[in-house]
Amino acid sequence: MLGIKNVPTPQQVVAAYLKLSPNDDGLNISNVIDIAISSGLLGEKPGAKVYIDPSNWDHMRLAMYMFGGLLGGIQCTDAMQTQFSNGQPWDGSGTVEGGHGILLPDWYGPNAKVLTWGGIEIAEPGAIELMDEGWAVVSAEQIQNPQKFSDLGFNTDQFLADLQAIQDQE
């Protein structure tokens, strides 16, 4: 939306992950966003985060549209890695094994596109229902240049006031 693009290399992503999780035992999405906001991460220093209720699919779609994606936590099942490896959509089947962080950049029809394990996955409604958290990350540029949202039909003054009122709230 702003024309600014910073794409870290896979090696940079792995190094940042291992710095935050030296034992490769996972990360808390909200905490990682807080670290990025306070001190920067992978060349980015976001301005704010906003909790998006994963049971409200309209809000999730709006967050993807406005902020270019949604960071989410999903309860990953034993079937998901097999489905991913076989090029099959996640359908929500299987037994939950634990939490997993994902990025949702797009939603079309009943399905969401998911970036995970270094690739793209399609999540059907049954899998989307396994999401237990969602975060919109608002870039510093979006806060400094809110007029970009006026092109989307938003009242920018109200947007900034609402952002201030709800950021970091669950």
Does residue 60 contact residue 52 with C-beta atoms inside 8 Å? yes
- Residue 15 forms part of a structural domain: no
- Residue 39 forms part of a structural domain: no
Q: Residues 8-44, buried b or exposed e (16+ Cβ, 10 A)?
A: eeeeeeeebbeeeeeeeeeeebeebbeebbeeebeee
Q: What is the pLDDT of residue 169?
A: 56
Q: What is the pLDDT of residue 145?
A: 78
- Residue 21 forms part of a structural domain: no
Torsions phi, psi of 39, nearest 5? -135, 0
Give this prediction's pTM.
0.82
- Residue 36 forms part of a structural domain: no
How many structural domains does the chain have?
1
Q: The CATH number of the domain where 57 resides is what?
A: 3.90.70
Torsions phi, psi of 77, nearest 5? -100, 165
Mean residue pLDDT across the chain: 87
Calculate mean pLDDT across residues 87-112.
Answer: 93
Structural domain range at position 62: 46-166
pLDDT: is 132 or 159 the higher one? 132
Can you give the length of the chain in residues?
170
Going by C-alpha positions, the residue among 91, 80, 61, 73 that lies closest to residue 131 is: 73
Q: What is the pLDDT of residue 109?
A: 86
- Residue 40 forms part of a structural domain: no
Calculate mean pLDDT across residues 124-135.
Answer: 96
- Residue 10 forms part of a structural domain: no
Instruction: Flag the least confident range among 37-46, 74-83, 138-147.
Output: 138-147
Amino acid identity of residue 24, one-letter, is D
Q: What is the pLDDT of residue 139?
A: 83
Residue 29, H or E segment:
helix 29-39
Calculate mean pLDDT across residues 31-59.
Answer: 91
| Tokens, residue 106 | 């797009």
Q: What is the pLDDT of residue 1?
A: 45
Q: What is the pLDDT of residue 132?
A: 94
Query: What are 54-84's pLDDT values in tens digits?
Result: 999 999 998 898 888 999 999 999 999 899 9
- Residue 127 forms part of a structural domain: yes
- Residue 156 forms part of a structural domain: yes
